[in-house]
Amino acid sequence: MAVIVNQLKLLAGGEAGDGVFAVSDMLALMFARAGLEILTTQTYSSRIRGGHINASVRVAEREILSQGDELDLLIALDLETVELHRKNVRDHGIILYDNSQGEIDLGELEQRHITVFPIPARKIARERLSAPIMKNIVMTGAALTAINFDPEFEFLGDLIRQRFLSKGEKIVAKNMEAAAAGQEIIQQANKLTNYRMERRQRARKMLLQGSDAVSFGALVAGCRFMASYPITPASDIMEYLVTKFPKYNGVMVQAEDELSAINMAIGAAFSGARSLGASSGPGIALMIEALGLAAVTETPLVLVDVQRCGPSTGMPTRMEQADLNLLLYGAHGEIPRIVIAPSDIEECFYQTIRAFNLAEKYQCPVIIATDQYLSQSQRTTWPFDLSKVVIDRGMLQTDEELNNLSNPFRRYLITERGISPRSIPSQEKGIFKTTGVEHVETGNATENPDARTRMMKKRFLKLDTFRQEDMQPPKFFGNPESDITIVGWGSTKGVILEVIERFRQEEALDLKLMHLVDIWPFPDQAVADVLHRSRQVIVVENNFTGQMANLIRQQTGIECSKVGKYNGAPFSPKELYQRLKELVVISEKIPT
Amino acid sequence: MVTLELYNQNTVKSQWCPGCGDFAVIKSLKEALVSLEIHPKDLVITAGIGCSGRAFAYLNGYSFHGVHGRALPLSTGIKLANEALKVLVLGGDGDGYAIGMGHFPHAIRRNLDLTYVVMNNQTYGLTKGQVSPTSDLGYRTTTTPAGNIEGAIDPMAIAMSSGITFLARGFSGNPKHLTKLFERALAHKGFSLVDVLSPCVTYNRINTYDWYRDHSYYLDEEPGYDSTDRMQAWNTLLHNEKIPLGVIYQGERPSYEDLRPTNTREPIALQALHDIDYSEVMEEFF
């Protein structure tokens, strides 16, 4: 077996409360600081203590597109973790496990040349360090040594100091002692492993998850108000912004429920603040009535849906892309809205900023659809270009503009582009009344059929303007000449790209990916043009009914093959490769 | 100059029934706003759904007529985004104490500087006469043909137990008294509730102007009543045959706006968003 350098997928697992995520977070950050590329995932349950949880970290020198397949290294903080994941460890891989509570049956592991290191981490932490909590640091020290990384604890030392210095030098020293104990056990075992991790020189990259990018994007976009109700997996956003807002004179309110949260966000937007709501399926369902209010009163609102498995409570900590219909059609009556689905960390940031600009430009709700996987997966990412950020407040009127009006201000003035001038409270010449009741240009209520017709047309005219001025066509990857088109949206982009590369390498078959970011208004023409020229179209998405495939049929009349997954986990590359292989009709191979 | 005439601008013709108690509420509100010299440009009126909610269109000022039961959250956002605004929340007993009840204690415990005026007629008017959460036991309506079998809610006690800092009750049959209550409520720093007994002349034939006159009394006329005394307030709410009118309780505690962590009191909505350096925040991702 040749030594594998800088190519690793590890999984740390244990019971909730074992400090599993501390292990994966620390390792990921160390690899990132060593100049390597990272993609992490978290799997956990809706409980605080007990129950199996795990986190994976995939490391490589080149950009990583998905969470990958087999494990090179399993770090098991309990015996259950070994039983659950041993079959996923590849031949010649490594298993580290805490044997304080018993030994595992080596069984097939020996034939598969898997190197097993029993580490009495609990025992060491309790007996030698008198700090049971440090068992995960013992395992971290052992793991680093088993993969031949950071032998002098340069990266680990920095990280431990950074995390624990506030608790005193003694705690720092004790953590280092814990790591050294883990290192010692591996060294004494005197078994060689096939893995080596080496530092690489490159410009600094960030390590952050999708929800960080959405939250930071909101801050940079000038969002200064957020109202939200705790819900997995969307709470990360409120928890991030509440720590940043004080310095920038913003406020995050934890509302009593989602009905309240969205109405608060609408109120703040009416006052002129850039305002955000964020939730997940159950909360979004409660917000739907007020979404209509935002649309009919033409109040700018940005709403994030971090999708999780539904329906009802579903599987709160697992990913799905099954809210698409809710986000596109959720409303009584008909409303203009814009729906955007970022597909990676960069898009989470830049599309959130764009969403705030679009919300103010078009004075309608803009919904950002992410999911648990994208939102809670950390990836190495180039620093965002803050100089590229533009803030466009649309038709928001200055006092001077209002003073220069020859006629009294009409908040819902019918214009050629459907967009009306907007004032905010405290502007003397901009006083207006708004209501969820149908209204005329002044904002006063009406039931006049002609006025109603005009106002409906005016509101929907904004979407025509959006199509002309702002709509982003789908993005294309792979071989543009390929007549087999895979269609994706949201977080599936990475895994589809990885699989396309595999088809090229293993089957000499070129595919192309059409990935939709702007989902509504739907880019009908751009999609139809490409799909009409495709011999085969396969839509890959994480839901049961094929919501995107159905949307494509509705908008273009084109029937697509569907590849769906709805068990709570994102597609793995191997699985998607096999599913596509069953479907792809290889009538002619296109030379590469 | 803030005048009554200014408050009559940008309004529409009322759709209320002749004799409706809500007319007095609007008249008194306008007088109070004028006497406090609050300019309509600095006023936001929010309203829920119901006959009372329509009041938003009957006086000048920025206004937002939202969905049923959510005027308090809407107002919370409006006020927090611009603390310099005066926010007046209008609604009825159905809007505030039934569909919107989930927000009532929370808005109160936050103690935001909002003035909430509930036009309480103990019945549903706009939907044509169904039972309300403040309807008395036995009250017959289209949905309680055999009489109401649910006890009435006591919003005043809920407000007290949620930590309200200004609690008052008025009566549409005495607009002068009402104006004084509104003046005090609007001037109060923190959450103020004025629950107004505002008869529905069309659907509620029990709780009429005369009925309220017979079943209420004025706290101002009670010797020794001290509205800053929490215990007296509780006693008054719990141990009276008749309905007390006037300021029941007035206390002091910091508002949500006062307590929110920030370096500046500049209204959130009015601050500049351009040319702000975020590189320090981004540094945390390395």
Q: Does A510 lie in the same domain as A461?
A: no
A497 inside domain: yes
Stated pTM of the model: 0.96
HSE-up (13 A, CA, CB side) for residue B87: 31
Q: Does A63 lie in the same domain as A36?
A: yes
Q: Over 80: is that where the pLDDT of A246 sits? A: yes
A591 inside domain: no
Q: How confident is the model over A369-422, as pLDDT tens digits?
A: 999 999 999 999 999 999 999 999 999 999 999 999 999 999 999 999 999 999
CB contact under 8 A, B84 and A424: no
pLDDT confidence band for B123 (50 / 70 / 90): very high
**What number is the average pLDDT over the span A184-208?**
95
- Mean of the per-residue pLDDT values of chain A: 96
Round to whole Å and give the CA distance between A329 and A340.
14
Q: Does A186 lie in the same domain as A222?
A: no
> Which of A426, A427, A448 is best to mutate for the B interface (most B CBs within 10 A)?
A426
By the CB < 8 Å criterion, does A268 face chain B? yes
Round to whole Å and give the CA distance between A355 and A352.
5
Count of domains observed in chain A: 4
CB contact under 8 A, B73 and A426: no
Q: How confident is the model over A258-305, as pLDDT tens digits?
A: 999 999 999 999 999 999 999 999 999 999 999 999 999 999 999 999
Instruction: Provide the token pair at A560.
Output: 């697509």
CA B185 to chain centre: 9
Q: How confident is the model over A64-106, as pLDDT tens digits?
A: 999 999 999 999 999 999 999 999 999 999 999 999 999 999 9
Among candidate residues B217, B171, B66, the one with its CA nearest the CA of residue A434: B66
CB contact under 8 A, A225 and B12: no
CB contact under 8 A, B62 and A433: yes
Instruction: Provide the token pair at B60.
Output: 């000048």
* DSSP three-state, residue A365: strand
Q: Does A290 lie in the same domain as A143?
A: no
**What number is the average pLDDT over the span B35-57?**
97
Round to whole Å and give the CA distance between B217 and B240.
10
> Which of B64, B65, B79 is best to mutate for the A interface (most A CBs within 10 A)?
B64
Question: Residue B275: what residue type?
Answer: D
pLDDT confidence band for B168 (50 / 70 / 90): very high
Domain endpoint, select from A447, A469, A491: A469
HSE-up (13 A, CA, CB side) for residue B108: 25
List all residues 6 or more positions away from A262 whose beta carbon is below 8 Å from its beta carbon. Answer: A227, A277, A286, A287, A290, A291, A294, A301, A303
Cβ–Cβ < 8 Å for B86, B92 = no
Domain endpoint, select from A196, A223, A247: A196
Q: Over 50: is that where the pLDDT of B106 sits? A: yes
Cβ–Cβ < 8 Å for A411, A420 = yes
List all residues 6 or more positions away from A182 whose beta carbon is below 8 Å from its beta carbon. Answer: A119, A121, A124, A137, A138, A139, A140, A141, A142, A143, A145
Q: How confident is the model over B133-147, as pLDDT tens digits?
A: 999 999 999 999 999
Residue B105 distance to chain A (closest CA, Å): 10
Q: Does A127 lie in the same domain as A154?
A: yes
Count of domains observed in chain B: 1
By the CB < 8 Å criterion, does A500 face chain B? no
* DSSP three-state, residue A157: helix
* Nearest Cβ partner for B285 among A208, A222, A268: A208
Q: Find chain A residues with C-beta within 8 A of B42's C-beta.
A: 425-426
Give residue A588's pLDDT: 56
Domain range for A310 is 211-382
Biggest CA pair distance of chain A: 87
Rg over alpha carbons for chain A, rounded to the nearest Å, is 26
Instruction: Provide the token pair at A34.
Output: 């060593």
Please write down the HEC assignment for all residues of chain B: CCCHHHHHCCCCCCCCCCCCCHHHHHHHHHHHHHHCCCCHHHEEEEECCCCHHHHHHCCCCEEEECCCCCHHHHHHHHHHHCCCCEEEEEEEHHHHHHHCCCCHHHHHHHCCCEEEEEEECCCCCCCCCCCCCCCCCCCCCCCCCCCCCCCCCCHHHHHHHCCCCEEEEEECCCHHHHHHHHHHHHHCCCCEEEEEECCCCCCCCCCCHHHHHHCEEEHHHCCCCCCCCHHHHHHHHHCCCCEEEEEEEECCCCCHHHHCCCCCCCCHHHCCCCCCCCHHHHHCCC
* Residue bearing the bigger pLDDT, A519 or B1: A519
By the CB < 8 Å criterion, does A426 face chain B? yes
Q: Find chain A residues with C-beta within 8 A of B57's C-beta.
A: 433, 435, 444-445
Give residue A587's pLDDT: 60
* Nearest Cβ partner for A273 among B42, B268, B286: B268
**What number is the average pLDDT over the span B47-61?**
96
Domain range for B51 is 4-283
CB contact under 8 A, A225 and B40: no
Angle, helices A169-189/A135-146, rounded to nearest 10 degrees: 50
Shortest CA distance from B50: residue in chain A: A437
Round to whole Å and give the CA distance between B176 and B171.
10
By the CB < 8 Å criterion, does A257 face chain B? yes
CB contact under 8 A, A271 and B39: no
* Nearest Cβ partner for B66 among A224, A248, A436: A436
pLDDT confidence band for A47 (50 / 70 / 90): confident
Instruction: Scan residues 5-64 of A and list those with Cβ closer than 8 Å to B.
Output: 33
Q: Does A292 lie in the same domain as A184?
A: no
Q: Does A272 lie in the same domain as A160?
A: no
Shortest CA distance from A295: residue in chain B: B66
Round to whole Å and give the CA distance between A571 and A577.
10
Q: Does A228 lie in the same domain as A332?
A: yes
Residue B48 distance to chain A (closest CA, Å): 10
Shortest CA distance from A435: residue in chain B: B65
CB contact under 8 A, A425 and B70: no
A490 inside domain: yes
Q: Over 60: is that where the pLDDT of A591 sits? A: no
Q: How confident is the model over B249-264, as pLDDT tens digits?
A: 999 999 999 999 998 9
Domain holding B192: CATH number? 3.40.50.970
Cβ–Cβ < 8 Å for A242, A252 = yes
Q: How many other CB atoms are found less than 10 A from the CB of residue B286?
A: 13
A372 inside domain: yes
Domain holding A174: CATH number? 3.40.920.10
By the CB < 8 Å criterion, does A394 face chain B? no
Q: Does A506 lie in the same domain as A579?
A: yes
> Which of A209, A224, A256 is best to mutate for the B interface (most B CBs within 10 A)?
A256
* Nearest Cβ partner for A268 among B60, B63, B80: B80
By the CB < 8 Å criterion, does A590 face chain B? no
Question: Residue A532: what residue type?
Answer: H
**What number is the average pLDDT over the span A532-542?**
97
CA A501 to chain centre: 23
Q: Find chain A residues with C-beta within 8 A of B285's C-beta.
A: 206-208, 212, 216, 381
A203 inside domain: no
Round to whole Å and give the CA distance between A232 and A46.
8
Q: How many other CB atoms are found less than 10 A from the CB of residue A110?
A: 10
Domain endpoint, select from A196, A222, A243: A196
Determine what percent of chain B is predicted with pLDDT higher than 90: 98
Q: Find chain B residues with C-beta within 8 A of A270's C-beta.
A: 44, 64, 74, 77-78, 81
Q: Over 50: is that where the pLDDT of A536 sits? A: yes
A258 inside domain: yes
Angle (nearest 5°) at CA B120 between B115 and B125: 125
Residue A364 distance to chain B (closest CA, Å): 15
Round to whole Å and give the CA distance between A480 and A116.
46
DSSP per position, A208-265: EEHHHHHHHHHHHTTEEEEEE---TTTHHHHHHHHHHGGGGT-EEEE-SSHHHHHHHH
* Residue bearing the bigger pLDDT, B240 or A351: A351
Q: Does A167 lie in the same domain as A59?
A: yes
Angle (nearest 5°) at CA A76 between A154 and A46: 105
Among candidate residues B178, B183, B219, B179, the one with its CA nearest the CA of residue B197: B178
By the CB < 8 Å criterion, does A249 face chain B? yes
Residue B259 distance to chain A (closest CA, Å): 11
Round to whole Å and give the CA distance between A573 and A588.
24
Q: How confident is the model over A308-336, as pLDDT tens digits?
A: 999 999 999 999 999 999 999 999 999 99
pLDDT confidence band for A592 (50 / 70 / 90): very low
Q: How confident is the model over B219-235, as pLDDT tens digits?
A: 999 999 999 999 999 99
Residue A460 distance to chain B (closest CA, Å): 21
CB contact under 8 A, B270 and A426: yes
Cβ–Cβ < 8 Å for A210, A348 = yes
A413 inside domain: yes
Which residues lie across from B119 on neighbouring strands?
Answer: B92, B196
Cβ–Cβ < 8 Å for B66, B50 = no
> Which of B281, B283, B284 is best to mutate for the A interface (most A CBs within 10 A)?
B281
A204 inside domain: no
Q: Over 50: is that where the pLDDT of A190 sits? A: yes
Range A187-195, long-range pairs (CB < 8 A, 24+ positions):
A187/A145, A189/A117, A191/A115, A191/A117, A193/A94, A193/A115, A193/A146, A193/A147, A193/A148, A194/A1, A194/A2, A194/A3, A194/A4, A194/A92, A195/A3, A195/A4, A195/A5, A195/A8, A195/A72, A195/A73, A195/A94, A195/A146, A195/A147, A195/A148
Residue A584 distance to chain B (closest CA, Å): 41
* Nearest Cβ partner for B103 among A256, A289, A432: A256
Residue B41 distance to chain A (closest CA, Å): 5
Residue A270 distance to chain B (closest CA, Å): 7
Q: Does A88 lie in the same domain as A18?
A: yes
CB contact under 8 A, B81 and A272: yes
Q: Find chain B residues with C-beta within 8 A of A219's C-beta.
A: 278, 281
**What number is the average pLDDT over the span A195-199?**
97
Q: Over 70: is that where the pLDDT of A552 sits? A: yes
* DSSP three-state, residue A54: strand
* Nearest Cβ partner for A216 among B44, B70, B282: B282
**Pairing status of strand A512-516 against strand A475-478:** antiparallel
Give residue A45's pLDDT: 81
